[in-house]
Amino acid sequence: MGEKAVPVLPRFFYRELMSHEKLRSCIWGDKIMRPESKIFASTKQGHSTRGFSLIELLIVVAVILIIAAIAIPNFIRSKEAANEASAAQNMRNISTAEYLYSTTYGVNFTTDLATLSGNTGNPDQTHAELIDEVLASGVKSGYSIGYTAGSTNGLGQVISYTVNASPLVPGSTGQRYFYTDQTCVIRWNATGPAGPTDIPLQ
């Protein structure tokens, strides 16, 4: 005959039987199975689901850091180049607007950038609406734009001006500095504010 089945007893029966030596030995020897707790059962089931090991996580982190080290500097350089191109174009826009203002109103150049701007829908000598208001505010595309009216004629009209564009955060929003004046020639400098003797922008 085969071996007798081993009974599974409730916990309170198990504790009671363990306190009575003779009664315990009468039931198929010492082969009384203690019921398995839910906590132990769930722990065993949890071992069947395998997670990421520490080495695998470190490898993933290392790959992400390598990609970031390659991508971020390229993104910054691309952003700087875009800001510099925008700054140079803004200088052209201001010079063009100044000459349009001069020929339209016959009073030479403006005293500030705000005079070239406006959004009333009815441009006039005080709000010519030749440049956008963002550019007239003096900050655009990572650059600070500074306009300075120059000398005047006998009628008090401005006959010269200078415009400087400087990166807000050198090395981050842009590398080069730009300059232009009534000659409409845009010049640049890589180390500091540009001036009338710096290299012309090609």
Cβ–Cβ < 8 Å for 153, 108? yes
Q: Are strands 177-181 and 187-189 parallel, antiparallel or unpaired?
A: antiparallel
Please tell me the predicted confidence (pLDDT) of residue 61: 92
Point out the residues of the chain with pLDDT beneath 70.
Answer: 1-50
pLDDT digits (tens, 9 = 90+) for 10-42: 555 555 555 555 555 555 455 544 555 554 445
Please tell me the predicted confidence (pLDDT) of residue 19: 57
pLDDT digits (tens, 9 = 90+) for 80-91: 999 999 999 999
Can you tell me the distance from the alpha carbon of 79 to that of 117, in angstroms, rounded to the nearest whole number?
27
Residue whose entry in the numeric block shows the structure tokens 């734009």: 145
Please tell me the predicted confidence (pLDDT) of residue 110: 96
Please tell me the predicted confidence (pLDDT) of residue 154: 93
Domain chopping of the chain, boundaries: 11-44, 56-200
Please tell me the predicted confidence (pLDDT) of residue 40: 47
134's enclosing H/E stretch is helix 133-137
C-alpha distances in Å from residue 44, one per residue of 31, 32, 36, 52: 23, 22, 11, 18
